[in-house]
């Protein structure tokens, strides 16, 4: 096997671009650290993007009500001025101690694509790597996918989308905008999505730009598409590609071999959020310090601690306490 090419070292490497990872990256950027984030998902936001982008969250401090997708967008916008290096659609697999120079020790995390040396690491892996559920459709078709990254690649092609989750609706809109011929089907009559997605879906359906069959029962795939049971009819839907959006399942197995003193699904840490390994910190749902309080507000607080203590670990001349952001002037989107 060809050895993976090592990337240039960063001060901080964060496993997981969910809310805890994004907020930790923001604080690390504020403290002057270079930051890289790895996530197996093709987009940032962790559970909020993968599991409930359409839901409203009511208990984020200072935010009476916001959709999970809007919370992710705000976290990413807040972090953008620090230009983190995002490595999406990559699964972090191993952690090894490494020499960064003759005098400096650090850690290398290896994913399925590359190896990433860093002076410090924050594990913000939440419930685990959010992997798409397998397609359980019977029969065979040459192009069945559970991840859809580049809608533009489907221009002029016919795509059948199976599922009722927000990702199915978003894929239908994106593919239609990219010039694909889209059919969307779901076992139930209703689709999940934000009003900003469901409204255009209705319009495109009315205009005949997207064909919707719901409720409809997938019967089986074949070489040319899929058989659907719609009421009492069995109808064949021709498709060049089939995208199955069945939601996601978390998987911690890649990280559980790391020697972090795991207690079940949690990694223990001290009051600075550092694990038993020097320079390896933890934040968010996977941190034992929050226990069963798997909440945004708890994970964001742990992220602030982990990032600031990681900053001091990387540069011992820094104070861990960041001071008040209100004493600074940071770039604002409106200032452009």
Q: Which is nearer to ligand FAD, 12 or 15 (CB)?
A: 15
Question: Per CB under 6 A, does 260 bind ligand FAD?
Answer: no
Closest to 72 in 3D by CA, of 154, 166, 205, 176: 166
296 binds ligand FAD (CB under 6 A): yes
Check whether 285 is labelled as a binding-site residue.
yes
Sign of CA dihedral 173, 174, 177, 178: negative
52 labeled part of a ligand binding site: yes
Q: Would you count residue 91 as binding ligand FAD (CB under 6 A)?
A: yes
Residue 155 CA to residue 148 CA, distance in Å, equals 13
Q: x/- binding map, residues 106-145, to ligand FAD, per CB under 6 A?
A: ------------------xxxxxxx---------------
Q: Is 160 in contact with 139 (CB distance < 8 Å)?
A: no
Question: Should residue 24 be labelled a site residue for ligand FAD when binding is judged by CB under 6 A?
Answer: no
Q: Residue 262: how many CB atoms within 10 A of its CB?
A: 17
Between CA 65 and CA 300 the distance in angstroms is 17
Q: Which residues contact 123 (CB under 8 A, 6 or more apart)?
A: 15, 16, 255, 258, 260, 267, 275, 280, 281, 282, 283, 286
CA-wise closest residue to 90 among 39, 18, 15: 39
Does 92 sit near ligand FAD (CB under 6 A)? yes
12 sits near ligand FAD (criterion: CB under 6 A): no
- Closest to ligand FAD by CB, 43 vs 240, is 43
92 is in an annotated binding site: yes
Residue 70 annotated as lining a ligand binding site: no
| For ligand FAD, the closer CB: 11 or 39 | 39
Beta pairing partners, 281 = 122, 274
Residue 163 interacts with ligand FAD (CB under 6 A): yes or no: no
326 is in an annotated binding site: yes
* Of 96 and 99, CB closest to ligand FAD: 96
Work out how close the CB of 258 gets to ligand FAD at its nearest, in angstroms, rounded to a whole number.
9
Instruction: Give the position of tokens 């990219």.
Output: 178
Contacts (CB under 6 A) with ligand FAD, residues 31-60: 38-41, 46-48, 51-52, 55, 57, 59
CA distance 35 to 85: 6
- Least distance between ligand FAD and beta carbon 328 (Å): 25
DSSP lists the bridge partners of residue 255 as: none
Number of residues that bind ligand FAD (CB under 6 A): 37
Length of the chain: 336
DSSP 169-194: HHHHHHHHHTT-EEEEE-SSS-----
Binding site for ligand FAD (CB under 6 A): 15-21, 38-41, 46-48, 51-52, 55, 57, 59, 91-92, 124-130, 254-255, 284-285, 294-297, 299
Binding positions: 39, 47, 52, 92, 130, 285, 326
């Amino acid at each position: 096997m060809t050895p993976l090419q090592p990337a240039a070292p960063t001060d901080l490497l964060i496993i997981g671009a969910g809310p805890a990872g994004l907020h930790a990256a923001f604080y690390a950027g504020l403290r002057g650290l270079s930051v890289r984030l790895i996530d197996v998902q093709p987009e940032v936001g962790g559970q909020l993007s993968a599991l409930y982008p359409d839901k409203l969250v009511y208990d984020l401090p200072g935010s009476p009500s916001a959709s999970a997708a809007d919370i992710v967008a705000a976290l990413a916008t807040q972090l953008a001025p620090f230009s983190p290096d995002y490595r999406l659609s990559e699964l972090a697999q191993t952690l090894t101690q490494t020499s960064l120079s003759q005098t400096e020790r650090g850690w290398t995390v290896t994913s399925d694509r590359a190896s990433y040396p860093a002076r410090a690491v924050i594990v913000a892996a939440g419930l685990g790597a959010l992997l798409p559920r397998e397609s359980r459709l019977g029969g065979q078709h040459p192009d069945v996918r559970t991840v859809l990254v580049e809608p533009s690649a489907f221009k002029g092609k016919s795509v059948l989308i199976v599922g009722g989750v927000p990702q199915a609706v978003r894929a239908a809109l994106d593919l239609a905008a990219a010039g694909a011929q889209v059919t969307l089907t779901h076992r139930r009559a209703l689709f999940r999505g934000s009003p900003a997605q469901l409204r255009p879906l209705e319009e495109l359906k009315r205009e005949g730009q997207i064909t919707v069959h719901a409720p409809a029962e997938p019967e089986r795939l074949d070489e040319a598409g899929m058989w659907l049971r719609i009421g009492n009819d069995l109808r064949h839907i021709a498709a060049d590609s089939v995208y199955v959006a069945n939601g996601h399942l978390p998987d911690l197995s890649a990280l559980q071999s790391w020697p972090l003193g795991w207690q079940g699904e949690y990694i223990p840490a001290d009051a600075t959020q550092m694990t038993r390994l020097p320079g390896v910190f933890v934040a968010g749902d996977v941190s034992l310090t929050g226990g069963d309080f798997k909440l945004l507000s708890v994970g964001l607080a742990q992220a602030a601690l982990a990032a600031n203590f990681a900053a001091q670990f990387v540069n011992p001349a820094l104070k861990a306490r960041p001071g008040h952001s209100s004493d600074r002037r940071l770039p604002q989107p409106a200032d452009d």
